[in-house]
Amino acid sequence: MDAATAARKSRVTIDTIRTWCRRGVITATKTAGRWDIDQNSLRAHRRRLIAIRNARRTRNAATIQARITTQLTLPHLTGTPDQVAKADDIRRRAIQAALQLVTHSDESGQPTGHATYRLSSGPTMFDSDPLDAYTVLRDSAYTEHTSEAAYITALNTVLADRTDASYWINNHR
């Protein structure tokens, strides 16, 4: 395939494709001033780039999640000791599920230079033990925030309003 086709398929510029060819990042041969690019090599390189991007996003999200977690205020739960123990575990897992952050704001999923923090409404890590953290922690004022501080404040507000152990137990599926 030629450089223009490779660029279009990879969603990069033709200059980027030519640079990859010159550096040997992708397998290509130059004949009469034109690059003939191996499709399999290009596909493999795109997979490597996606893996790197996903690893960076995961690392960045984990850093943000850890930072937010340290700033949360978890009020004491009320109920029997057994209820409190069970509810505390459910609340902890709900918080972890809620911290599956969306840190981009355009529909393509590409970072836009500023983070948008909101509750994850998609499947959580608790598929085998479903916990609808979005429903458990949802609040009319708690939808989307443009700063980490606003996100933390909103989450702390939601948690402060839910101190009854039975609330967490009853909202756990």
The pLDDT of residue 152 is above 60: yes
pLDDT at 100: 64
HSE-up (13 A, CA, CB side) for residue 61: 20
pLDDT at 111: 45
In this structure, are residues 127 and 121 in contact, taking their beta carbons and an 8 Å threshold? no
* 66, 87, 171 from 167: Cα distances, Å: 25, 8, 6
Rounded to two decimals, what is the model's pTM?
Answer: 0.51
In this structure, are residues 26 and 37 in contact, taking their beta carbons and an 8 Å threshold? yes
Give the pLDDT band of residue 124 (cuts 50, 70, 90): very low
Q: What's the whole-number average pLDDT of the chain?
A: 75
Per-residue burial over 72-105, b = 16 or more CB atoms within 10 Å of its CB, e = otherwise: eeeeebebeeebbebbbebbebbbbbbbbbbbbb
